């Protein structure tokens, strides 16, 4: 089937004024980037919808494969165009219906005419087209309310435009339309999901990872790079900052009592993350924390950890159940990477009896005997950055 254009519908109808302009501009840019290797693609944006054209059929087909992965698109439909005559519309209607599934589906024809000069009345036209389609596809069942196949025919002065299939979009907001944040990315299951959810909410991300070689292996670093790469397939390139954390962790173990070392570790990580955040001009820090999951994720722990900065810490998973998080991880393709066995720095150095209710004054008291500041600065300066360019999606089309 040769489609003439794609009609792209936006979500977030509540967006108003300038926000809407930012949204549409960003979405247009993101679509352009995601399709930049398809030379004949062109876009036209309107206030509440966008049209995509492609002279080459292969470009059009590939665009249909990629659009469901771009955040900010609510749905889209391939559109076929023909002359605005009854015969031409009837013939095109068969092509359009034939391109989708028909077996046992409910069906309705809907007409919209902005060209009032068309000879037939809307009702007549609707009946003529429906009867013609049903002759070729007798398995369709006519149903006026919520049909599965809705053949929409729009008659304008420049021709007739037909759509039948509505492809579901990834929804959310265009990546980058809601600013930039720094994701604390461990090798675990939760933080990649947290990053994905923020990207879906329109936030572009850099990622930061703390590595403690030789206690953490090259393989665990590779795992984190694979996770960051996976995230870069959701509409924007990701820059990964790898922080050398060994010296700091050893210092914590030797200077701070066992039962608060976890809290101190998190506090120092957050301070480093905050410095990197400031350098890269990001506004917030994202973590995969989920309330009550482990000792470091009680409200008391979060309070003691959070006390090192006034920067907003975004925790999109704070109220999610583990099973729900796992389900998303599986859908977005990070789960299989996350469950590889390589340990990250926190697991290796974690004490056997971390306090679930650390007292901030105590933690600060124990930390006060060591001057961590120069170590933190050195770690920030000695970080390694890895750029993961925007990935083209192919394998996870079950995203929705
Ligand atoms: P995850 O599955 O994301 O590792 P978790 O349930 O294992 O989370 P923790 O290990 O307590 O929980 O980590 C809480 C959060 O702290 C993580 O979601 C992540 O955002 C951050 N974090 C933990 N370890 C690291 C690390 N080595 N590098 C960067 N961030 C980390
Ligand atoms: Mg973890």
- Boundary of a domain, candidates 168, 195, 212: 168
Residues 162 and 191 in one domain: no
Tell which wins on pLDDT, 389 or 284. Answer: 284
Residues 198 and 131 in one domain: no
- Boundary of a domain, candidates 146, 168, 190: 168
pLDDT score, position 322: 96
185 lines ligand 1 (CB under 6 A): yes
Task: Tell me the average pLDDT across 156-175.
Answer: 93
pLDDT score, position 12: 60
pLDDT at 310 over 90: yes
301 lines ligand 1 (CB under 6 A): no
190 lines ligand 1 (CB under 6 A): yes
For 190-233, the three-class secondary structure string (H helix, E strand, C coil) is HHHHHHHHHHHECCEEEEEEEECCCCCCHHHHHHHHHHHHHHCC
What is the arrangement of strands in the sheet containing 238-244, beginning at the earlier edge strand? Answer: 313-314, 284-286, 180-184, 204-211, 238-244, 384-388
Give the phi and the psi of residue 203 in degrees, each rounded to 5.
-100, 125
Q: Output the CA 238–ligand 1 centroid distance in Å.
A: 18
Residues 59 and 206 in one domain: no
Q: Is the Cα dihedral 28, 33, 35, 41 positive or negative?
A: positive
End-to-end CA distance of the chain: 25
pLDDT in tens, 197-248: 999 999 999 999 999 999 899 999 999 999 999 999 898 999 999 999 999 9
pLDDT score, position 237: 93
Tracing tokens 């028909």 back to the chain, one arrives at 102
pLDDT score, position 13: 56
Task: Tell me the average pLDDT across 259-264.
Answer: 92
Give domain status of residue 284, yes or no.
yes
pLDDT score, position 397: 46
Give the ligand with the smallest distance to the CA of 292.
Answer: 1
pLDDT score, position 400: 41
Give domain status of residue 398, yes or no.
no
Protein residue with its CA nearest to atom 10 in ligand 1: 346
Residue 230 near residue 333 (C-beta atoms within 8 A)? yes
Q: Which ligand 1 atom lies nearest to the CA of residue 293?
A: 6
Residues 82 and 131 in one domain: yes
Residues 263 and 120 in one domain: no
Protein residue with its CA nearest to atom 20 in ligand 1: 287
What CATH number is attached to the domain comprising 54? 3.30.2130.30
pLDDT score, position 10: 86
Give domain status of residue 174, yes or no.
no
Protein residue with its CA nearest to atom 11 in ligand 1: 296
Residues 251 and 346 in one domain: yes
Residues 211 and 162 in one domain: no
- Please list, in sequence order, all residues whose beta carbon lies within 8 angstroms of the beta carbon of residue 9, skipping any fewer than 6 positions away: 48, 49, 73, 74, 75, 76, 77, 169
Residues 157 and 211 in one domain: no
Give the ligand with the smallest distance to the CA of 289.
Answer: 1
pLDDT score, position 394: 56
Give the ligand with the smallest distance to the CA of 350.
Answer: 1
What is the chain's Cα-based Rg?
Answer: 27
pLDDT in tens, 112-156: 998 888 888 899 999 999 999 999 999 999 999 999 999 999 999
Tell me the pLDDT of the chain averaged across its residues: 92
Total tally of structural domains belonging to the chain: 2
pLDDT at 64 over 90: yes
Task: Tell me the average pLDDT across 36-47.
Answer: 93
* Residue 385, both tokens: 């950055």
Residues 147 and 229 in one domain: no
Q: Output the CA 63–ligand 1 centroid distance in Å.
A: 36
- Boundary of a domain, candidates 116, 148, 168: 168
326 lines ligand 1 (CB under 6 A): no
Residues 164 and 185 in one domain: no
Residues 103 and 241 in one domain: no
Protein residue with its CA nearest to atom 12 in ligand 1: 289
Q: Which of 94-108, 205-219, 344-358 has the lowest mean pLDDT?
A: 344-358
pLDDT score, position 38: 95
Give domain status of residue 321, yes or no.
yes
Tell which wins on pLDDT, 63 or 391. Answer: 63
pLDDT score, position 14: 59
350 lines ligand 1 (CB under 6 A): no
Tell which wins on pLDDT, 10 or 264. Answer: 264
Give domain status of residue 243, yes or no.
yes
Give domain status of residue 189, yes or no.
yes
Give domain status of residue 395, yes or no.
no
188 lines ligand 1 (CB under 6 A): yes
pLDDT score, position 117: 84
What CATH number is attached to the domain comprising 363? 3.40.50.620
Residues 243 and 275 in one domain: yes
Tracing tokens 């589906």 back to the chain, one arrives at 105
Expressed as residue numbers, the domain containing 50 is 5-168
pLDDT at 395 over 60: no
pLDDT at 370 over 90: yes
**Quick one: which H or E segment has residue 18?**
helix 17-34
Give domain status of residue 29, yes or no.
yes
Q: Output the CA 289–ligand 2 centroid distance in Å.
A: 9
Give the ligand with the smallest distance to the CA of 294.
Answer: 1
Task: Tell me the average pLDDT across 81-93.
Answer: 95
pLDDT score, position 103: 94
Among candidates 155, 201, 161, which has minimal Cα distance to 179? 201
């Amino acid at each position: 089937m040769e489609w003439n254009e794609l009609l792209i519908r936006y979500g977030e109808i509540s967006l108003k004024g300038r926000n809407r302009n930012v949204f549409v501009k960003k979405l247009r840019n993101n679509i352009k980037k995601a399709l930049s290797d398809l030379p004949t693609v062109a876009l036209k944006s309107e206030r509440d919808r966008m049209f995509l054209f492609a002279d080459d059929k292969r470009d059009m087909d590939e665009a249909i494969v990629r659009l469901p992965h771009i955040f900010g698109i609510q749905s889209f439909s391939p559109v076929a165009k023909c002359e605005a005559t009854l015969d031409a519309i009837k013939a095109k209607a068969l092509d359009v219906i034939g391109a989708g599934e028909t077996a046992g589906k409910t069906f309705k024809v809907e007409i919209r005419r902005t060209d009032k000069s068309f000879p037939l009345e809307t009702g007549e036209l609707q009946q003529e087209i429906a009867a013609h389609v049903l002759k070729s596809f007798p398995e369709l069942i006519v149903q006026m309310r919520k049909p599965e196949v809705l053949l929409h025919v729009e008659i304008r002065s420049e021709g007739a435009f037909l759509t039948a299939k509505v492809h579901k979009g990834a929804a959310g907001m265009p990546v980058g339309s809601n600013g930039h944040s720094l994701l604390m990315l461990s090798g675990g299951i939760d933080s990649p999901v947290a990053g994905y959810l923020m990207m879906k909410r329109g936030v572009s991300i850099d990622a930061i990872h703390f590595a403690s070689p030789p206690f953490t292996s090259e393989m665990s670093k590779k795992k984190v790079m694979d996770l960051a790469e996976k995230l870069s397939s959701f509409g924007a390139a990701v820059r990964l900052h790898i922080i050398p954390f060994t010296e700091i962790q050893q210092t914590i173990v030797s200077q701070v009592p066992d039962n608060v070392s976890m809290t101190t570790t998190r506090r120092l990580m957050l301070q480093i993350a905050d410095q990197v955040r400031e350098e890269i001009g990001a506004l917030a820090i994202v973590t995969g924390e989920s309330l009550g999951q482990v000792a470091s994720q009680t409200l008391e722990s979060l309070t003691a950890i959070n006390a090192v900065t006034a920067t907003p810490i975004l925790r999109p998973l704070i109220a999610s159940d583990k099973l729900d998080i796992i389900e998303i991880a599986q859908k977005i393709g990070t789960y299989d990477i996350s469950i590889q066995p390589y340990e990250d720095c926190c697991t290796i150095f974690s004490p056997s009896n971390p306090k679930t209710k650390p007292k901030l004054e105590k933690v600060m008291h124990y930390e006060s005997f060591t001057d961590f500041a120069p170590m933190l600065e050195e770690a920030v300066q000695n970080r390694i950055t890895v750029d993961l360019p925007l990935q083209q999606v192919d394998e996870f089309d079950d995203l929705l």
